[in-house]
């Protein structure tokens, strides 16, 4: 597949969804984000099931004013419950070149990668009664939309429609998904981070994480979500 693009103007955004649904997979996509003044735009790329108690795994890129950095937003919904946001700055300008953003989703782990560097690992903690997305098949979605009411400084900065249409490009979309997961799929079905990768992820989180629901005591006065106290 060659380059394709998503675009946004005042009347409509754009997006695509996969035809197939799948339970577990390794999804890779190279994206080049809206350049210049992209404040108010959100480029999203996510997996989601349907229905009220849905599961979802999100990558979202919140645009910014020219010269100000994008925010990479991640979230996970398990059986309808989200509120697991972690946000990062990137260590490169994501509008300059294509970079690869991947999601690995198997029985035990959800791992988010940026150019093969793991940035987040959400683990299956069903053993202590916490929900994990492993029973509902998902589709892949990608979209570019206008969210200037919340995306940029809580709505303080508005989208500059004189710069429209906004365009983000993607290429080399690759989905290695489970139809009959029998172990012959490049090993990802049993993949977990090894100690070198865990160390890399720790470094990224230390240097580039700008929000972590697991340290937001104000938001969870009753106590942080249970998974936060498990390494």
The residue ranges that bind ligand NAG (CB under 6 A) are: 62, 64, 68-71, 151-153
Min dist CB 60 to ligand NAG, Å, is: 10
Cis peptide before 165 (omega within 30 of 0): yes
- 56: annotated active-site residue: yes
Nearer to ligand NAG, 80 or 155 (CB): 155
**The 3-state secondary structure of the chain, one letter per residue:** CCCEEEEECCCCCEEEECCCCECCEEEEEEEECCCCCCCCEEEEEEEECCCCCCCEEEEEEECCCCCCCCEEEEEEEECCECCCCEEECCCCCCCCCCEEEEEEECCCEEEEEECCEEEEEEECCHHHCCCCCCCCCEEEEEEEEECCCCCCHHHCCCCCHHHCCEEEEEEEEEEEECCCCCCCCCCHHHCCCCHHHHHHHHHHHHHHEEEEHHHCCCCCCCCCCHHHHCC
Min dist CB 106 to ligand NAG, Å, is: 30
Min dist CB 149 to ligand NAG, Å, is: 12
Q: Which residue among 17, 28, 30, 60 is the active-site one?
A: 60
Nearer to ligand NAG, 60 or 227 (CB): 60
Q: Which residue among 30, 56, 85, 96 is the active-site one?
A: 56
Rounded Cα–Cα distance for residues 189 and 21 (Å): 17
Min dist CB 166 to ligand NAG, Å, is: 14
Nearer to ligand NAG, 70 or 188 (CB): 70
Nearer to ligand NAG, 156 or 180 (CB): 156
Asked if 138 and 48 count as a contact pair (C-beta separation under 8 A), the reply is yes
Nearer to ligand NAG, 38 or 185 (CB): 38
- 60: annotated active-site residue: yes
Min dist CB 65 to ligand NAG, Å, is: 6
Residues noted as catalytic: 56, 60
């Amino acid at each position: 597949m060659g380059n394709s693009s998503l675009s946004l103007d005042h009347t409509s955004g754009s997006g695509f969804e996969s035809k197939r649904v799948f339970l577990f997979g390794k999804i890779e996509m190279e994206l080049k984000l809206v350049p210049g003044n992209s404040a108010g735009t959100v480029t999203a790329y996510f997996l989601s099931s349907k229905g009220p108690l849905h599961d979802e795994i999100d990558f979202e890129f919140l645009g910014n004013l020219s010269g100000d950095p994008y925010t990479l937003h991640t979230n996970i919904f398990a059986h309808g419950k989200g509120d697991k946001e972690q946000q990062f700055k990137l260590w490169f300008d994501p509008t300059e070149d294509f970079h690869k953003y991947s999601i690995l989703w198997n029985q035990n782990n959800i791992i988010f990668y940026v150019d093969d560097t793991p940035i987040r690992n959400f683990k299956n903690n069903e053993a202590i009664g916490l929900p994990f997305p492993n029973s509902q098949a998902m589709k892949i979605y990608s979209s570019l939309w206008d969210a200037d009411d919340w995306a940029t400084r809580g709505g303080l900065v508005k989208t500059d429609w004189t710069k429209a249409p906004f365009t983000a490009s993607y290429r080399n979309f690759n989905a290695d998904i489970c139809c009959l997961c029998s172990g012959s799929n490049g090993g990802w079905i049993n993949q977990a981070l090894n100690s070198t990768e865990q160390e890399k992820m720790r470094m990224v989180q230390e240097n580039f994480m700008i929000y972590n629901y697991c340290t937001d005591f104000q938001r969870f006065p009753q106590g942080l979500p249970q998974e936060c106290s498990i390494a």
